[in-house]
């Protein structure tokens, strides 16, 4: 499990690799071993201001480049990411913990956004509208919105950056990225590629360090015209509120509390296999993973037996060992939250049918490991029913009628992803129509596709990433009334 990956540890501002003005550093720990992976530059307001200024200066030339010129660079970034996918994946496993193959899958998926938006950049069409007068033309053209502040989380350290940057750069925007403090190395490795691909200086900048200081510069600067954020609902609300002062556009991809509904006519094997990917990928640390598994009473026992058998077979451990399917949680706090949620559920009557304990012995001793867990008898008074656990816990709730399950599924302030398993077409259409969610998986447990709009409603956020819809978020309309 030895690794020899060498990574830079600086920020990237105005085309220069830069230390923090204060020389401050932050320590990046491997969540599987507790070992120090790197010491990276730790900046704040000053570096954020420099990055905003660089992006602001770079904007006019980038905005006025042709779509083909921008597409050529995005394509080059795509190819370089593919070439270096192993390196990027290893860096990700070291700092984030997810198994190497899963990390590589994320890197490759993240690269696809570059290719998709390289193509989509060429299709930013305007309109000609029938005029009200003679010798008049009403034209609508699309323009890039300006400098974008992109704030990203640690659960998908590579693809959350490319999913924002690809459409932003394709549209002609310039960007300041602030990645999560837990996973700066994946961001740095991407920026090495951006530099190599020939992205002009200042077009994409990377700032590391104090989230509040950097965030406050990004939201308050009049030079920043848009904030794109993926992270917690709490921070998202704060950023939206602060952005109001300069009337910035905001795109928010926030928390979820996905219902996973298994009806009595479902293909149970398909539903179990889907849940295994959906729930245990990234160790349950995704905003679209199933948090409440609603199973019809007639199939609840059969479903649970199948699920428990598979969950007990999962191999947990260091993600650099190819035998392991589930890695550690990101940090001690995350582990404590999972423990608290399970203890709370058990104290209120839930029954642990798989897992239910942290792993602390031998190879697990210095990492943040928790057994993949299934809980039965979950009720609405439990934390697992109300809050995002963000861990490898599958809480099962039994239901009887369609009306009842739709009501329970919608009984949350969140509205990101929902899933339903049924063979009944009428039920599929009725229930997916009634679910108050931005995305619904129907006999399907994956939702992230470069060509489709990913995002939530209610307190799960606003705006969409992916597809042609993802480009819209980075474009303004300009109306021209032309008389001749």
**By the criterion CB under 6 A, which residues form the site for ligand ADP?**
151-153, 178-181, 211-212, 215, 231-232, 235, 238
Q: Compute the least distance from the CB of residue 373 to ligand ADP, in Å.
A: 20
Which of 221, 194, 220 has its CA nearest to residue 205? Answer: 194
Of 132 and 333, nearer to ligand ADP (C-beta) is 333
Structure tokens at 24: 């401050």
Of 115 and 254, nearer to ligand ADP (C-beta) is 254
- CA 89 from centre of chain: 16
Q: Compute the least distance from the CB of residue 133 to ligand ADP, in Å.
A: 49
Q: Compute the least distance from the CB of residue 215 to ligand ADP, in Å.
A: 2
- Rg from Cα positions in the chain: 23
Sign of the torsion angle spanned by Cα atoms 103, 106, 108, 111? negative
Q: Compute the least distance from the CB of residue 41 to ligand ADP, in Å.
A: 15
Of 227 and 409, nearer to ligand ADP (C-beta) is 227
Give Cβ neighbours of residue 475 (< 8 Å, ≥ 6 apart): 124, 142, 143, 144, 145, 171
Determine the Cα–Cα distance for residues 439 and 236; give it in Å rounded to an integer.
19
Q: What's the per-residue H, E or C state across 241-258?
A: HHHHHHCCEEEEECCCCE
Q: Compute the least distance from the CB of residue 52 to ligand ADP, in Å.
A: 14
Determine the Cα–Cα distance for residues 200 and 143; give it in Å rounded to an integer.
19
Contact 304, 396 (CB under 8 A): yes
Pairing of strands 16-18, 11-13: antiparallel
Q: Is 287 a catalytic residue?
A: yes
Contact 81, 118 (CB under 8 A): no
Q: Which of 102, 112, 253, 465 is catalytic?
A: 253
Pairing of strands 136-144, 475-483: antiparallel
Helix (H, G, I), strand (E, B), or coil: what is residue 408?
A: helix
Q: Which of 95, 112, 287, 465 is catalytic?
A: 287
Per the document, the length of the chain is 484
Alpha helical stretches, state H, 134-183: 159-171
Q: Which residues are bridge partners to 193 per DSSP?
A: none
- Alpha-carbon distances of 280 from 31, 32, 283, 311, 434, rounded to whole Å: 17, 16, 5, 9, 27
The secondary structure element, H or E, covering residue 207 is none
Provide the 8-state DSSP code for 364.
G
Q: Compute the least distance from the CB of residue 288 to ligand ADP, in Å.
A: 14
Of 178 and 225, nearer to ligand ADP (C-beta) is 178
Q: Compute the least distance from the CB of residue 61 to ligand ADP, in Å.
A: 28
Of 152 and 373, nearer to ligand ADP (C-beta) is 152
Sign of the torsion angle spanned by Cα atoms 421, 422, 423, 428? negative
Of 65 and 232, nearer to ligand ADP (C-beta) is 232
Q: Which residue is nearest to ligand ADP (CB)?
A: 215
Of 281 and 422, nearer to ligand ADP (C-beta) is 281
Of 115 and 151, nearer to ligand ADP (C-beta) is 151
- Distance between start and end Cα atoms, the chain: 72
In degrees and rounded to multiples of 5, residue 201 shows phi and psi of: -60, 140
Q: Compute the least distance from the CB of residue 153 to ligand ADP, in Å.
A: 4
Alpha helical stretches, state H, 43-122: 45-63, 67-83, 85-96, 100-120
Determine the Cα–Cα distance for residues 282 and 440; give it in Å rounded to an integer.
20
Determine the Cα–Cα distance for residues 283 and 440; give it in Å rounded to an integer.
21
Of 223 and 306, nearer to ligand ADP (C-beta) is 223
Q: Compute the least distance from the CB of residue 232 to ligand ADP, in Å.
A: 3
The residues that are catalytic are 253, 287
């Amino acid at each position: 499990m030895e690794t020899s990956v060498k990574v830079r540890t600086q920020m990237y501002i105005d085309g220069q690799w830069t230390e923090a003005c204060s020389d401050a550093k932050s320590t990046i720990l491997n969540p599987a071993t507790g070992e120090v992976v790197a010491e990276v530059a730790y900046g704040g307001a000053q570096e954020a201001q420099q990055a905003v200024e660089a992006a602001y200066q770079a904007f006019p030339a980038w905005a006025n480049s042709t779509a083909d010129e921008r597409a050529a660079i995005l394509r080059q970034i795509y190819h370089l990411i593919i070439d270096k996918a192993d390196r990027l994946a290893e860096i990700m496993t070291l700092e984030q913990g997810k198994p190497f193959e899963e990390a590589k899958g994320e890197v490759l998926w993240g690269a696809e956004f570059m290719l998709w938006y390289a193509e989509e950049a060429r299709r930013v069409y305007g309109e000609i509208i029938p005029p009200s007068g003679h010798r008049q033309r009403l034209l609508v053209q699309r323009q890039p919105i300006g400098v974008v502040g992109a704030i990203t989380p640690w659960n998908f350290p590579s693809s959350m950056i490319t999913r924002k940057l690809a459409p932003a750069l394709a549209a002609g925007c310039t960007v300041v990225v602030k990645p999560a403090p837990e996973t700066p190395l994946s961001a740095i490795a991407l920026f090495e590629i951006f530099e190599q691909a020939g992205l002009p200086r200042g077009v994409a900048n990377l700032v590391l360090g104090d989230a509040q200081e950097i965030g406050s510069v990004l939201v308050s600067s009049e030079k920043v015209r848009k904030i794109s954020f993926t992270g917690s609902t709490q921070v998202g609300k704060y950023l939206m509120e602060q952005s109001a002062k300069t009337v910035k556009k905001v795109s928010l991809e926030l928390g979820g509390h996905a219902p996973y509904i298994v009806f009595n006519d479902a293909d149970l094997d398909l539903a179990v296999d889907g849940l295994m990917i959906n729930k245990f990928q990234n160790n349950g640390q995704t905003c679209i993973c199933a948090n409440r598994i609603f199973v019809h009473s007639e199939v609840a026992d059969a479903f649970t037996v199948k699920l428990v058998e598979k969950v007990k077979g999962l191999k947990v451990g260091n993600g650099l060992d190819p035998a392991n399917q589930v890695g550690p949680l990101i940090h001690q706090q995350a582990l404590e939250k999972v423990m608290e949620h399970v203890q709370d559920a058990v104290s209120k009557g839930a029954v642990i049918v798989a897992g239910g304990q942290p792993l602390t012995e031998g190879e697990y001793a210095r990492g943040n490991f928790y057994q993949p867990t299934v809980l039965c008898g979950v009720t609405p008074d439990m934390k697992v029913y109300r809050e995002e656990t963000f861990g490898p816990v599958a809480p099962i709730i039994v239901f009887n009628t369609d009306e009842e399950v739709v009501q329970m599924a919608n009984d949350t302030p969140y509205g990101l992803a929902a899933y339903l398993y049924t063979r009944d077409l009428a039920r599929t259409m009725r229930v997916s129509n009634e679910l108050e969610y931005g995305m619904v998986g129907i006999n399907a447990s994956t939702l992230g596709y470069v060509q489709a709009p990913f995002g939530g409603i209610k307190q799960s956020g606003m705006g969409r990433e992916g597809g042609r819809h993802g480009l819209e978020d980075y474009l303004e309309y300009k109306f021209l009334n032309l008389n001749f």
